[in-house]
Amino acid sequence: MRKKIIAGNWKMYKLPNEAIKYIEEIAPMVADTTHEVVLCVPYVDLFYTLLTTQGTNIKIGAQNMHYETQGAYTGEISGEMLKSIGTQYVIIGHSERRQYYNETDETVSLKLKKAIECELKPIFCVGETLEQRESGKTEEIIKTQVKIGLSKLEKTQVNNITIAYEPIWAIGTGKTATAEDANNTIKSIRTEIANLYGSDIANEIIILYGGSVKPENAKELFNMSDIDGGLVGGASLNAEEFSKIVNYLKVI
Ligand code: PGA
């Protein structure tokens, strides 16, 4: 049985004082969940949220990292730096980073390798644009992203990765893929993983859906056979709303 992961992606929102208040508010609301609860926060919030989540079941992640250990890379943060303060997760290859900061499948593959070396848990994002979807290229695009992204890892490292399938047209737009559509694309990711690494790894690897997940649609999405939870942007900014997504089984 694969466990469910419900991860929030705060993007460029929340000052440290707001982050601390949020954690204090949400911690008791998600204390009895059996799901893994993760919040991926801006760099300056990492230390504060790591302190505030001590003694809770909430895990903290960053939203990006560099693939080198150190060097003259002004403005960058390394995996070692994230690990040194106790960060547990890191999002790699989010579509906003691919779109605005020139991340490619190649840089994503270097970052995934480094994140694993640093013993961070990467949430590796893949997804197609509307144009690619409308021209029937979804599966081809996603398979290429998965294949190149994972290409620098040893076979034994692959199921330390969590994949997040996030159709770009569904991010922040209020449009969600239908649960069947999302499940089918995620199934095709599993098929690709099976082709590359064998069916055991394909059955074990955790694959999330992301793109306008809300309390109202979480249950339908997360109950699908191959969807192992979600990566949640906008709806993770409000503690009550995000707690309802974590506790989706209780939402009527
Ligand atoms: P959204 O963002 O939930 O606001 O659509 C998801 C994401 O970008 O990870």
For a ligand 1 pocket test, name from 98, 100, 231 the mutation site with the most ligand atoms within 8 angstroms of its C-beta.
231
Per-residue model confidence as pLDDT tens digits over 203-213? 999 999 999 99
**Distance, CA of 16 to chain centre:** 22
> CA 70 to CA 47: how far, in whole Å?
20
Tokens of 138: 């979804």
Helix axes 239-246, 16-26, angle to 10 degrees: 40
User: Mean pLDDT over residues 74-89, rounded?
Assistant: 98
Instruction: Measure 198 CA to ligand 1 centroid, in angstroms.
Output: 30
Round to whole Å and give the CA distance between 164 and 228.
9
Q: What letter represents residue 159's amino acid?
A: N
Using a pLDDT cut of 90, give the percent of the chain over it.
Answer: 94
For ligand 1, residues with CB inside 6 Å are 9, 166, 171-172, 210-213, 231-235
Cα 195 to its chain centre, rounded Å, is 23
Q: Which residues contact 143 (CB under 8 A, 6 or more apart)?
A: 188, 189, 192
The pair of structure tokens assigned to 111 is 């970052």
CA-213 nearest atom, ligand 1: 3
Per-residue tokens: 240 = 């009550």
| 3 Cα–ligand 1 center, Å | 21
pLDDT band (50, 70, 90) for residue 177: confident
- What gap in Å lies between CA 124 and CA 64, rounded to an integer? 10
Over residues 169-189, mean pLDDT: 91
Residue 176 confidence class, pLDDT cut points 50, 70, 90? confident
Q: Whose CA is nearest to atom 2 of ligand 1?
A: 233
Q: Cα separations (Å) of 173 from 96, 170, 235?
A: 13, 6, 12
Q: Tell me how far the alpha carbon of residue 72 lies from the centroid of ligand 1, in angstroms.
A: 32
What is the model's pTM?
0.97
- Of 57-66, 93-102, 151-160, 175-184, give the lowest mean pLDDT range: 175-184
Compute, in angstroms, the gap from residue 90 CA to the centroid of ligand 1.
Answer: 15
The answer to whether residue 98 scores a pLDDT higher than 70 is yes
Predicted pLDDT at 174: 82
Write down the mean pLDDT value for the chain. 96
Q: How confident is the model at residue 58 (pLDDT cuts 50, 70, 90)?
A: very high
Tokens standing for residue 50: 């790591």
Task: Kindly report the protein residue whose alpha carbon is nearest to atom 3 of ligand 1.
Answer: 233
Q: Is the pLDDT of residue 188 over 70?
A: yes
Hey, which residues are catalytic here? 94, 166
- Nearest residue CA, atom 1 of ligand 1? 233
* Residues contacting 68, CB < 8 A, separation 6+: 78, 114
Res 252: pLDDT: 62
Task: Give the distance from CA 207 to its chain's centroid.
Answer: 9
The rounded Å distance from CA 39 to ligand 1 centre is: 13
Q: What is the pLDDT of residues 41-54, one digit of tens each?
A: 999 999 999 999 99
Q: What is the pLDDT of residue 230?
A: 98
Residue 175 pLDDT class (50, 70, 90 cuts) = confident
Minimum-distance ligand 1 atom for the alpha carbon of 210: 6
Say how far residue 93 (Cα) sits from the centre of its chain. 9
Mean pLDDT over 147-151 rounds to 98
